[in-house]
Amino acid sequence: MIAFGALGGTISMVSGDESGIRPSLGAEDLVTSVSAAAGVRIRTATLQRVGSSSLTARQLVETLAWAEQEVDAGAAGVVISQGTDTLEETAYLWDLLWQRSEPLIVTAAMRGPEQPGADGPANVLAAFTVAASPGARDRGVLTVLDDQIHAARWVRKSHTVRTGAFASPGAAALGLLVEGEVAWTATTPRDPAVPAPDRAALAAADWPWVPLLEFHLGDDGRLARAAVDAGAAALVVAGSGGGHVSIPASDVYAELARRVPVVLAGRTAAGPVLQRTYGYQGAEIDLIARGLLPAGWLAPLKARTLTQLLLAAGADRDQLAAELARRGRLPR
């Protein structure tokens, strides 16, 4: 048996009386056309009906708790459908907390069900196939869209409209679906789950505000300071290139790093934040020496998700630094 939970997103959106498509269909509607082809028993649950930008931390933890209960009740795997817009964040959050061997698959659609060539049914069917695949066990959370399988740790939404919008920049897809079967093409090391309080406590926790700020020419750090003054518990800065900011911004970030954890990620599409190449003011050696915590290979949204989760789970700055170092590194 595979459990299927629906959260909303384009895959569920149809046009009603008002303009534009909106979340509407539930889990049962999404499996109707594919359940026979899936060849496994499917248990459905409509968990939310929202655009994925409105998903809250509480809803995400409750969804995780639902998935865990389904596995405890005998599900061989779990599939969650949601919107594509924030899938790279939700899948990674669940991946950080998912401790089971059973696969947790996240899928979605780029085209609504009323559009020609709607990709929802094919994606849901492919997700069921991967969820039932023995080779998917012990791989953590995976995403399945456009017949490609990606690790939650790497996947990013890389296009606003194409059905092949999901990619793992700087890494490889883990596999693909061919003639209804899963072909695995890569493995990825799996870090242990983040130690966190029980799900009810985590869902009820006051999740701290951790804004992500992207550096741009002319950025002097004003927005970062305003964010900390307004209560940010930590900052993630997506620096240019290998993790660089301007000279004025570097002074502000160095000052802020004495007040809250400041994580240094990179705004470039792929590759890690550097640690020991550039020595000018505002470059990575200077920023790290002045207290910023490098995110390694974690993309800015992944680093932000990890930072917020750890703080919500009660981690201090040293624990955050250790987890960023561990989860941001690649084996050498």
Angle made by CA atoms 310, 158, 277, in degrees to the nearest 5: 65
86 is catalytic: no
Tell me which of 91, 108, 182, 235 binds ligand ASP, using CB under 6 A: 108
CB of 20 to ligand ASP, least distance (A): 11
CB of 11 to ligand ASP, least distance (A): 6
Q: Which one, of 202, 127, 208, lies nearest residue 166 by Cα?
A: 127
Give every CB contact of residue 104 below 8 A, 6+ residues apart in sequence: 67, 77, 78, 80, 94, 95, 98, 140, 141, 142
**Applying CB under 6 A, which part among 59-67, 79-87, 93-101, 123-131 lies near ligand ASP?**
79-87
Tell me which of 51, 221, 291, 300 binds ligand ASP, using CB under 6 A: 51
Which is catalytic among the residues 10, 63, 90, 268?
10
Q: Is residue 10 near ligand ASP by the rule CB under 6 A?
A: yes
Tell me which of 77, 83, 140, 211 binds ligand ASP, using CB under 6 A: 83
Q: Is residue 103 near ligand ASP by the rule CB under 6 A?
A: no
CB of 115 to ligand ASP, least distance (A): 12
Q: Which one, of 266, 270, 269, 226, lies nearest residue 245 by Cα?
A: 266
Q: Which residue's beta carbon is nearest to the bound ligand ASP?
A: 83
Q: Is residue 120 near ligand ASP by the rule CB under 6 A?
A: no
Q: Is residue 84 near ligand ASP by the rule CB under 6 A?
A: yes
Q: How far is Cα 299 from Cα 170, in angstroms, rounded to an integer?
A: 10
Q: Distance between the two ends of the chain, CA-based, in angstroms?
A: 39
Distances (CA, A) of 242 to 215, 249, 251, 278, 297: 12, 16, 18, 9, 11
- Which of the residues are catalytic? 10
